[in-house]
Amino acid sequence: MRRLKVVVDLDRCEAHGECTRIAPDLFRLDEELDLHWEENPPGDRSDDVRYAVEACPSEAISVDEV
Ligand code: SF4
């Protein structure tokens, strides 16, 4: 199965958390509000990642297929 390559521009991320609500197993904010994310999720998660891309108010998330 193809995998995705998810990139988050941390200079743009303002810890709104929409991505963590859409896919909490792929995106997580820690106690310091630093974002951690799965950089290479399986291709069958592309819908969730794309929803997160669209929901991010800072347009900080981008995704490619690899
Ligand atoms: S939705 Fe965007 S701004 Fe909010 S935590 Fe996720 S990447 Fe950061």
Q: What are the Cα distances from residue 62, in Å, to 19, 22, 31, 32?
A: 12, 15, 24, 23
- Answer positive or negative: Cα dihedral of 6, 9, 10, 16: negative
What is the domain-level CATH number for residue 41?
A: 3.30.70.20
pLDDT at 8: 98
User: How much is the pTM?
Assistant: 0.94
Q: Please give all residues whose beta carbon lies within 6 A of any atom in ligand 1, as ranges.
A: 8, 13-19, 27, 35, 56, 58, 60-61
d(CA 22, CA 24): 6
Q: What is the pLDDT of residue 1?
A: 77
The dihedral of CA 28, 34, 38, 44: what is its sign? positive
Q: Could you identify the atom of ligand 1 that is nearest to the CA of residue 55?
A: 1
Across the chain, which has 66 residues, the per-10-residue mean pLDDT values are 95 96 98 98 97 98 94
| Ligand 1 center from residue 9 Cα (angstroms) | 9
Range of the domain at 52: 4-65
Counting the structural domains of the chain, the total is: 1
